[in-house]
A and B are shown apart, each in its own frame.
Chain A
Amino acid sequence: MTKISAEGICKSFAGPRQRVEAVRSFSLDVREGEFVCLVGPSGCGKSTFLRIVAGLMEATSGRLEIHRDAEDGRPLNSMVFQEYAVFPWKTVSENVAFGLAMRNVPRKERDARTAEWIDRVGLRRFAHHYPHQLSGGMRQRVGIARALANDPEILLMDEPLGALDAQTRTVLQEELLRIWQSRRKTVMYVTHSIEEAVLLGDRVVLMTAHPGTNKAEFTVPLERPRTLQTTTDPQFSRLSYQIWEELRDEVQRSMEENA
């Protein structure tokens, strides 16, 4: 069943001199419970597209349909922001509990879920710290916990592991695989790392350089459940390289444009 259906999405911003086109006629369908990774050169409009799906921004044109399960009070989507957007005036646990508090989840359940997710991202010792007392990577983990604790139908993750060191990143990739395995949420995941996209995703969607539109799409044939061992699979490296071949021109173009 199709969960998200975006067709011909265009978005342009009013610039100082002329309008800046961020996304040009981008289309994407995501099935219920599918993990889709979005990869493209910097500035190609990935974050913009995610914001449109999140309902934080209106598309200039195009059609967007999101199928709502509409049962309990679960939220439709929760976003992990590229800029963390962790509230500096709330402690780690207040941040993680934020979504639950905003939709009046009873105190007891809220506390339990908050504690659980703080544990999962390895921040138990920092539960009562304020964000400025944390490193960038730790703050990003708070942002991830805030989204996951909220238990949305759709997870929108904008480079959620971008600020982490290589080891923490690997640990959290495995954790994400485990979580997804047990929950089967619909996930739209933006990353710069092709390997990460192949490891996590059911499908990898490439965008062209600015303004972003559909470039290519790859289905990841690797079996689930996956672990870090999956990266040793010859299929894994072959697909990663194939994606890179496709992406290289776009990255080149994006760099030349900015030069």
Chain B
Amino acid sequence: MSSGGQRNRTREEDGKAHTGAGLMSPAAGTVLLRWVALFVLFNGAMTVLRLWEPLWWAAALVNFVLLVRIAEQGALLVPARFARTYERSLAVAFPLVLLAGWQLVVGAEILSPTWFPPPTRIVRALWELATGFDEFTGTSLFGRPWEIPARLAEDGLKDGAAAFTAESHLFATLMRVFAGFAIGAVPGVLLGMVMGVSRTVRAMVDATLSAFYVLPKIAIFPIMMLVFPNPFGEGPKIAVVAISAFFLVAINTMVGVRDIEPVYLEAGRNYGATGRRMFRHVIIPAALPVIFGGLRIALGTALIVIIAIEFVRSRTGVGYLTFYYWEILSPDKMYAGLVVVMILGVGLTTGLKALERVVMPWRRDPGRSDPGG
């Protein structure tokens, strides 16, 4: 805890020690070259000897180890100043290498390019998906966002938004995720809080909650279709997302409140915090990190659930789009749909992390490397 500054210092010293070693032994650069040469040689030999097909899994493993060695040797040559930048660039470089590997593997027809299209073709499909407009269904990925203000003015909030999401797959999915997440998470936090502080409520509700918690929420989709007047409308979809988020958030919030260091509650009491103020000044901020952990899991789950539902029962949404292109045997665009889902997931998580930094300023510390944020 106290080591914000301290850890930082050791980090810098680490960096210096590394450069020091790099400067002192002129071999560091040579060693790096040697590893790169080994990497090239190995893959060349695999190709020439035609060992890829029978031994691809072993080759992948060896290549991974070689890449790690190369990255480590590279780190020795990077000045301490750029150590963090270097580490971050590794996170980008690794998937690029994977994609390059895929491209090569498919290019050599080790995998069928029909069913596993190379990344270049997926990128092209992604472009077509983003710019294309399906005349038959009257839908596209983004819809016509520039018409939103006019539509809202004309048809009012509800109908305008509905008309817009009906023709945009991306926003249809986003709307379902956001609506379901909000409808589920808010009562989830409230129930979790109450369960955290009240022994009685916990005793009553805990077992039921745990039972629902393990239930795969998609399984209740049919029931939701019965509950809502329009079984094919947005209602049942949003409801299932909301229910999934609700249980995850409730349980995490409860754990967050239960795990508060008792001494903070004692300090709150000793200095006169009672009732609402105890919640506002002690319980909520103390539980917030765990609550946000729950929100993050819930948001990820919301996305999984909605994509799955769109696969089976929807005419719009990124999940529908992806499955549709599978059904009409257009794998390029199916992969493009999956990429959209991934981008969506990363975007939502990043947004939530940004919110976390705003809501919990005490955890924001530029000097501290804080994995898991």
Contact = CB atoms under 8 A, between A and B. Distances in A.
Nearest to B278: A102
A98 B2 CA distance: 22
Interface in B1-54: 1-2, 4-5
B263 A85 contact: yes
Interface stretch (A16-24, A129-137, A203-211, A239-247): A129-137
A134 B360 contact: no
Given A81-B263, A89-B360, A133 B269 contact: no
A75 B271 CA distance: 8
Contact of A99 (B266, B271, B362): B271
Given A89-B285, A132-B4, A133-B365, A102 B263 contact: no
A56 B272 contact: no
Interface in B229-266: 261, 263-264, 266
Contacts of A133: 4-5, 365
Contacts, number: 69
A110 to B, nearest CB: 13
A136 B100 CA distance: 50
Interface string B342-369: 0000000000000000001110010010
Contacts of B162: none
Nearest to B271: A99
Contacts of B264: 85, 87
Contact of B272 (A81, A90, A99, A132): A99
Interface in A119-174: 130-136, 139, 146, 150
A198 to B, nearest CB: 28
A88 B362 contact: yes
Nearest to B360: A89
A70 to B, nearest CB: 16
Which of B281, B365, B368 has most chain A Cβ within 10 Å?
B281
Contacts of B84: none
A74 B146 CA distance: 61
A78 B270 contact: yes
Nearest to B264: A85
Nearest to A94: B281
A220 interface: no
B341 interface: no
A231 B4 CA distance: 37
Contacts of A81: 263, 266-267
A75 B272 contact: yes
Contact of B270 (A56, A89, A103, A134): A56
A113 interface: no
A79 interface: yes
B277 interface: yes
A87 B271 CA distance: 12
B285 A56 contact: no
A237 B2 CA distance: 36
Contacts of B2: 132, 134-136, 139
A77 interface: yes
Contact of A102 (B5, B272, B362, B368): B272
A192 interface: no
B8 to A, nearest CB: 11
A83 B267 CA distance: 10
A51 interface: yes
Contact of A79 (B1, B270, B273): B270
A54 interface: yes
Contacts of A83: 261, 263
A132 B362 contact: yes
Given A102-B273, A132-B4, A56 B266 contact: yes
21 contacts: A78-B270, A81-B263, A81-B267, A87-B282, A87-B285, A87-B286, A89-B286, A89-B360, A91-B362, A98-B271, A98-B281, A99-B272, A102-B281, A130-B362, A130-B365, A132-B1, A132-B2, A133-B5, A135-B2, A136-B2, A150-B271
Given A56-B270, A89-B288, A132-B1, 7 more contacts: A51-B266, A75-B271, A75-B272, A81-B263, A85-B266, A133-B365, A146-B271
What are the nearest 6 A-B pairs in CB distance?
A102-B272, A89-B285, A85-B267, A99-B271, A130-B362, A85-B263
Interface of B: 1-2, 4-5, 261, 263-264, 266-267, 269-273, 277, 281-282, 285-286, 288, 360-362, 365, 368
